[in-house]
């Protein structure tokens, strides 16, 4: 498979390092990361980013003390203490002045009481405060560490059996014999193990090693297909290690094609993302994106940080966050729980990553369309340019791959392509590829 060289920059994870899958024929043709090319605005639908791609919304590196004492949080505490001392000094001065000038005035007061109705503080279950109160005990902070890297991300309770849904790049450091822990909002920490992970989808399932005595109440899952631009959103996670952080926003876009990685040369994961302006930062990865009913519509996975970022650096939120649609994530999670392996729908064609025009171009070599594969059976040939996939206009390899992976094997899809300047339409019955390793 060849890598697209345009669009060049892709949003990075909202979490830490990972290795995404490389699909040989695919439209899971695993384009590797683009390292150059045009600014994102020149590629409609692109996630955008710096030359090396933004960092994930992401695991934050775990400090040497295991994250129990964070220098950043300590700084906040110190600032509060300083502010309290200053306020105390000023308050004392004002109090002395008031006492000296109002000894005989028994009616005046230096305070003002809230005369508003106390009823306004009765937070409805459907308010942000009500939803957060219900959801926070079901959202966890995940710490993963291996021999060479570690990170902090987020996850949420998927079922009553102890399964936690998160991003692959959150758990990747602990995937091969590392240590994985899950901490609930009440501060209790449990050891966990990886049940399965899908690099291409950037989805993973972990399970508590001992769920006895743990109250596991799954977050309700919504229907991401019904998400619409303008819908209210609530994101919960551990940005920069600050667990239990709640932010709000709206759905900014749907079906946003995004290819993301750690910005250090790893292969991409692809999604047809829900875009939100709810503040998502490194450490939010794997956390839920909720709708106004408190149901999960996506897994926060990637951000487009502002300003120039160096490879491996972590930028902050500029209101461009991307979530994996929960309908897709649920299908993948169920496969991982059942078999431990992901299943990818494929067309078994390889794409020409050097192509600069609109659409996704199949490579020119004879092996770019696998004989007997779904693409070949539908009449696709080397050099064809795919311009439409079902109802989605294809403007890049990322768009095509992201849309294919929204489907399931055996789905029939309508594909429009051009050959020698002439448009054609065909129906492709998607095939299947098991696991992340090429087969």
Predicted confidence (pLDDT) per residue in 81-112, tens digit: 333 333 333 333 334 344 445 555 555 667 77
Q: Is residue 20 pLDDT above 50, yes or no? A: no
Model pTM above 0.85? no
Catalytic residue among 145, 269, 285, 396: 285
- Rounded to the nearest integer, the mean pLDDT of the chain is 78
pLDDT value at residue 54: 38
Catalytic residue among 2, 163, 169, 255: 169
| Active site annotation includes 169 | yes
Mean pLDDT value of segment 32-59: 33
Query: Lowest-confidence range among 20-34, 144-158, 406-420?
Result: 20-34
pLDDT value at residue 45: 32
* Percentage of the chain exceeding pLDDT 70: 69
Which pLDDT band, with edges at 50, 70 and 90, does 313 fall under? low
Which pLDDT band, with edges at 50, 70 and 90, does 436 fall under? confident
DSSP letter string, 326-395: HHHHHHHHHHHHHHSS-EEEE--B-B-TT--SSSEEBPSSGGGB-TTSHHHHTT--TT-EEEEETTEEP-
Q: Is residue 53 pLDDT above 90, yes or no? A: no
Tokens standing for residue 277: 């302006």
Catalytic residue among 16, 23, 202, 397: 202
pLDDT value at residue 63: 47
| Active site annotation includes 390 | no
Q: Is residue 28 pLDDT above 50, yes or no? A: no
Q: Is residue 293 pLDDT above 50, yes or no? A: yes
pLDDT value at residue 118: 60
Is 176 or 189 the better-scoring residue by pLDDT?
A: 189
Query: Lowest-confidence range among 43-57, 155-169, 186-200, 211-225?
Result: 43-57
Integer CA distances (angstroms), 391 to 111, 244, 394, 431, in order: 62, 39, 9, 20
Which pLDDT band, with edges at 50, 70 and 90, does 129 fall under? very high
Tokens standing for residue 88: 């105390």
Query: Lowest-confidence range among 34-43, 216-225, 328-337, 416-425?
Result: 34-43
Walk me through the domains of the chain, giving residue ranges and CATH numbers. Answer: 12-52+341-434 (2.30.42.10)
Contacting residues for 258 by C-beta, under 8 A, at least 6 apart? 10, 11, 47, 270, 271, 272, 273, 302, 322, 398, 402
Q: What would the pLDDT profile of 384-403 be if each residue is shown by its tens digit? A: 999 999 999 999 998 999 99
Which pLDDT band, with edges at 50, 70 and 90, does 260 fall under? confident
């Amino acid at each position: 498979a060849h890598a697209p060289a345009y669009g060049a920059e892709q949003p990075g994870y909202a979490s830490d390092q990972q290795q995404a899958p490389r699909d040989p024929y695919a439209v899971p043709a695993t384009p590797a990361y683009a390292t150059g090319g045009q600014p994102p605005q020149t590629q409609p639908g692109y996630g955008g980013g710096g030359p090396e791609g933004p960092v994930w919304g992401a695991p934050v590196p775990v400090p040497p003390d295991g994250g129990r004492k964070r220098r950043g949080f300590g700084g906040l505490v110190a600032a509060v203490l300083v502010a309290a001392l200053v306020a105390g000094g000023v308050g004392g001065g004002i109090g002395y002045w008031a006492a000296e000038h109002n000894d005989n005035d028994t009616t005046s007061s230096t305070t003002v009481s809230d005369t508003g109705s106390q009823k306004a503080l009765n937070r409805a279950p459907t308010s942000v405060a009500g939803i957060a109160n219900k959801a926070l005990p079901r959202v966890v902070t995940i710490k993963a560490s291996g021999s060479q890297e570690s990170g902090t991300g987020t996850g949420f309770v998927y079922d009553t059996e102890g399964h936690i849904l998160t991003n692959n790049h959150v758990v990747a450091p602990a995937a091969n014999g590392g240590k994985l822990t899950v901490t609930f909002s009440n501060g209790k920490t449990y050891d966990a193990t990886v049940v399965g992970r899908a690099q291409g989808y950037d989805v993973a399932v972990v399970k508590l090693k001992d769920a006895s005595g743990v109250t596991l109440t799954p977050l309700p899952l919504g229907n991401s297909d019904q998400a619409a631009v303008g819908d209210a959103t609530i994101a919960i996670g551990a940005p920069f290690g600050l667990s239990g952080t709640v932010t709000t926003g709206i759905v900014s876009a749907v079906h946003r094609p995004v290819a993301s990685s750690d910005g250090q040369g790893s292969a991409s994961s692809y999604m047809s993302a829900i875009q939100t302006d709810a503040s998502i930062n490194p450490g939010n990865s794997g956390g839920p994106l909720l709708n106004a009913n408190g149901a999960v519509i996506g897994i926060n996975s990637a951000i487009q940080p502002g300003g120039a970022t160096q490879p491996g650096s972590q930028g902050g939120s500029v209101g461009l966050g991307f979530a994996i649609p929960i309908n897709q994530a649920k299908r993948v999670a169920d496969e991982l729980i059942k078999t431990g392996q992901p299943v990818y729908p494929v067309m078994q064609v390889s794409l020409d990553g050097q192509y600069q025009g609109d659409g996704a171009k199949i490579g020119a070599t004879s092996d770019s369309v696998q004989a007997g594969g779904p693409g070949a059976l539908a009449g696709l040939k080397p050099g064809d340019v795919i311009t439409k996939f079902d109802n989605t206009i294809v403007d890049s390899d990322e768009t095509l791959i992201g849309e294919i992976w929204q489907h399931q094997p055996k789905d029939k899809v309508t594909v429009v392509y051009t050959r020698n300047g002439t448009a054609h339409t065909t129906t492709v019955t998607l095939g299947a590829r098991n696991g992340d390793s090429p087969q």
